[in-house]
């Protein structure tokens, strides 16, 4: 099932939309710098992978054990 846009956009979504319209499509330098900052932040977060990644979810039964190991970011699968 596809994700739908909310009925009322969030303030962040309105802020990004305004920066896109007035900065990138328009000639307002301040909003253009705001849009560049938003894009750079998103790229930085994706490159640094600051969001936690769930690798596996399984249901444990009676008598099952859990083994946790650290996985370096180089061996994790790409998105």
- Residues with Cβ within 8 Å of 16's Cβ and at least 6 positions away in sequence, in order, are 35, 38
Confidence (pLDDT) at 51: 62
pTM more than 0.85? no
The tens place of each residue's pLDDT in the chain, 79 residues long, gives 567 777 888 888 888 888 888 888 888 889 899 999 999 988 888 887 656 677 778 898 999 988 877 766 665 565 5
Task: Residue count of the chain, please give it.
Answer: 79
- 24 near 35, Cβ under 8 Å? yes
From the centroid of its chain, how far is CA 48?
A: 11
- 23 near 32, Cβ under 8 Å? yes
Confidence (pLDDT) at 68: 78
CA distance 39 to 41: 5
């Amino acid at each position: 099932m596809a994700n739908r846009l909310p009925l009322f956009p969030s303030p962040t979504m309105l802020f990004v939309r305004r920066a896109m319209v007035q900065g990138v499509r328009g000639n307002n330098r301040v909003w253009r710098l705001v849009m560049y900052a938003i894009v750079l932040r998103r790229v930085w977060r994706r490159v640094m992978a600051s969001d936690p990644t769930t690798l596996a979810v399984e249901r444990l039964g009676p008598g099952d054990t859990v083994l946790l190991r650290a996985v370096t970011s180089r061996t994790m699968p790409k998105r």
